[in-house]
Structure 1
Amino acid sequence: MAEVVVQGDDLAPAGVGTARMAFAPHLREDLERFEALIEHRPLWQRVSAITIACLVHGTVYFGANHFPSREPRLLQLTAFDHWVPFIPLTAIIYMSAVPLSLVAFMTLKRVIDMRHFLEVFVVTVLVAGVVHWAVPTTYPRELFPLDTAAHPTGWLLELVRRVDTPSSCFPSLHVGLAFSGALALRQVHRRGWWAFLAWAVAIAISTLTTKQHYAADIVGGLVLAFVAVGLVERLNRRFETLASIRKAESRAPELANAAPADTSSS
């Protein structure tokens, strides 16, 4: 007796095979999109991406810093601001805010992680830039004269004071970038991100010991970091939901045609 081999689709009800064929291209598209998101990027592409982000940072920050919308307002130093000592040596830590973002970004390899980090970075810079431009505040650096000969890193802090005017105090972008960068890594490096968090704390302290910021600026920087991370995550969820709805709506006619007709009678 001859053996009869029957394919799975031959046993399926009429229309099911057609529906499966209709679904297959979309499943393949979703799979390709997923693979693209988890695909690793070579070093040169990561360097190029973070370089562009740093150019955006420099343009927005120094634009608001040198061309504020109004005369910067001088705030009063609090007792805590006076209590924190002036330590020019910590300028090295203060200047490591951007390197923190660079190092953090270079630890990422997947497209989806890189995109999320860059989105948080850019949102942090843009929000801070708008506030710096619209509501500029200034710091009384003249109360803390710098003797470059007496301090090994005095020249570094002097360079900062020459390039960076004191009119972009609130919120502290150094603190905002440091903490938003650390927070953006928490889902990727569940253990290692604590090292970046400790680095961010050191940067926050250095903004006070270099007399670049008020204590209130640190609080503003922390709020900025959480707002930027939360906003990016919320927008990503919203747009992904909208994309899913629109995709389902676009498939509706095709799926309706692929579905088997109901021929049963009551």
Structure 2
Amino acid sequence: MNLKWRTYLPLLWILAIPVLNIFYGVLNHAHTPVKSLVTDLDTVIPFVPIFIIPYLVWYPFIIIMLFLFCARDRNVYYRTLLTQCIGLIACYIIFFLFQTTVERPPLMGTGVLDWLVNLVYSTDNPYNCFPSIHVLTSYLMIKGAAASAGFTNKDRVVVHIFAWSIIVSTLFVKQHVLLDVVGAIALVEILWFGVGRLSSALRAKNKGVIVRGENMWEQ
């Protein structure tokens, strides 16, 4: 029983995420001259309230994925979590230096979906937009699933469906614009590569230390 508990002890590192998220609330207001990254293509994208469902699914999706990575592939778990934490820090720096906003549509309906959208709007100010954290973390789960031997091709298809539905939802509920999405994906690609190279270098260094230690004992 004690051994099983220790197996899941690395999950405690997930607590770094809510700690970092404190900065999201601190920065989520117009503290600098606010920019708009809306393009002509964004004006064509309609507001579709039903997409608030995948938008909200993001919260359990990320946690469940991190739990699965921890259980199935510890190396991918650490790489994904470290990339996410560095990505959040990078986002907060960008929010501080380059604050953007997205104009939200007026909510005329009174249905459940409109109520959910209004709930999101009322609890999340229209700032901290570029790059999108929703997109960053969702796309990161795709990268992690693709790199993990613990996921089958069917598993990866499911991850793609959930992740891309969340990514698209940020546009259809007018929480983000296209450049927010592109910026987040580009940031993930850069950080995933960098963290991967760092992990490989550390493993090679540790392996070299072990080998030298074995040679010393042989002598």
Contact 1:74–1:139, Cα closer than 8 Å, also in 2: yes
Contact 2:30–2:99, Cα closer than 8 Å, also in 1: no
Cα distance in 2, alignment partners of residues 171 and 106 from structure 1: 25
Q: Of the candidates 101, 123, 141, which is equivalent to residue 86 of structure 2?
A: 123
Cα distance in 1, alignment partners of residues 88 and 58 from structure 2: 13
Q: Shift of residue 107 of structure 1? A: 2.1
- Higher RCO by CA contacts (8 Å cutoff, separation 6 or greater): 2
Where do 1:132-171 residues align within 5 Å?
132-141=95-104, 144-149=105-110, 151-171=111-131
Cα distance in 2, alignment partners of residues 247 and 146 from structure 1: 62
Q: Which amino acid aligns with 1:174?
A: H
Cα distance in 2, alignment partners of residues 202 and 240 from structure 1: 35
Cross-structure match for 1:189? 151
Cross-structure match for 2:33? 71
Q: Shift of residue 49 of structure 1? A: 4.2
Cα distance in 2, alignment partners of residues 194 and 124 from structure 1: 24
Q: Of the candidates 13, 19, 36, which is equivalent to residue 56 of structure 1?
A: 19
Cα distance in 2, alignment partners of residues 182 and 120 from structure 1: 13
Query: Which structure 2 residue ranges, 5 or more long, are not aligned?
Result: none
Query: Which structure 1 residue ranges, 5 or more long, are not aligned?
Result: 1-38, 260-266
Cα distance in 2, alignment partners of residues 218 and 165 from structure 1: 18
The answer as to 2:54 corresponding to 1:93 is: yes
Cα distance in 1, alignment partners of residues 214 and 170 from structure 2: 54
Q: Which amino acid aligns with 1:105?
A: L
Contact 1:53–1:118, Cα closer than 8 Å, also in 2: no
Distance 1:180 1:210, change over 3 A: same
Cross-structure match for 1:219? 182
TM-score normalised by the chain length of structure 2 = 0.83
Contact 1:67–1:133, Cα closer than 8 Å, also in 2: no
Cross-structure match for 1:30? none
Cross-structure match for 2:195? 232
Q: Shift of residue 113 of structure 1? A: 3.8
- Cα-to-partner distance string for 1:139-174 (whole Å, 9 max, x where unaligned): 122xx101251x322222212222222221111111
Q: Which amino acid aligns with 1:233?
A: G
Cross-structure match for 1:32? none
Cα distance in 1, alignment partners of residues 212 and 11 from structure 2: 39
Cα distance in 2, alignment partners of residues 247 and 67 from structure 1: 52
Cα distance in 2, alignment partners of residues 224 and 240 from structure 1: 24
Query: In structure 2, the residue corresponding to 1:107 is in which secondary structure?
Result: helix
- Cα-to-partner distance string for 1:19-49 (whole Å, 9 max, x where unaligned): xxxxxxxxxxxxxxxxxxxx97679747644
Q: Of the candidates 196, 209, 223, which is equivalent to residue 172 of structure 2?
A: 209
Query: In structure 2, the residue corresponding to 1:95 is in which secondary structure?
Result: helix
- Cα-to-partner distance string for 1:207-233 (whole Å, 9 max, x where unaligned): 111011111111112112222321221
Aligned pairs, how many?
Answer: 212
Q: Percent identity?
A: 23
Cα distance in 1, alignment partners of residues 7 and 109 from structure 2: 39
TM-score normalised by the chain length of structure 1 = 0.70
